[in-house]
Amino acid sequence: MGEYKRIKRELVAKGAIIDYYQDTMQVLDKKLAKWDYIDHKGAAAVVAVCEDGRLLMVRQYRNALERETLELPAGGLNGREEPTAEAAARELSEETGYTCRDLELLTSIYTTVAFCNEKIDIYLARNLQPGEQHLDEDEYINVEVYTVEELKQMIFDCKIQDAKTICGILAYAAKYCQ
């Protein structure tokens, strides 16, 4: 593997969720290349396991796909310093109304390593207590429950395509559903 060196990073656009940069890179043979880079503050997701073993899921509209998706409860960090466990507990409560007594890190993923640094820590939540959703003004989320087998089938049928959701469900199934 050769050497890569960033010569310059220029902010192209600053957004509410991400910042878009263009990097000037010196690559292997000393040629310069322009690479896109998306900076993201990070996120957390939750595999929330009900007493009966079914998993809490959220159904919501996603503008990028122009359709509803079925996903794990998740959301961005309030700042880079926010512990991801706190964000996971907050998002579980806000999106589903549930809180949990037990929260443990299940896995971590980088969503799009070619051009983005978004890292999502995926937590396992057990011993859930029901409560009320606390949605943002522009959020409309339906909470649904499914067995692990139902969710795995939806993954294999390409009905669930969200990366964090696929990783969280399959990691949970591999570790705890033997």
Mapped onto helix, strand or coil, the DSSP state of residue 15 is coil
Catalytic residue among 51, 81, 104, 137: 137
- Within its chain, how far is the Cα of 93 from the centroid? 16
Tokens (6 digits) for 72: 């794990």
**C-alpha span between 121 and 124 (Å, rounded):** 10
* 137 included as an active-site residue: yes
Q: Which residues pair with 21 in a beta bridge?
A: 11, 37
One-letter identity of residue 90: R
Catalytic residues: 137
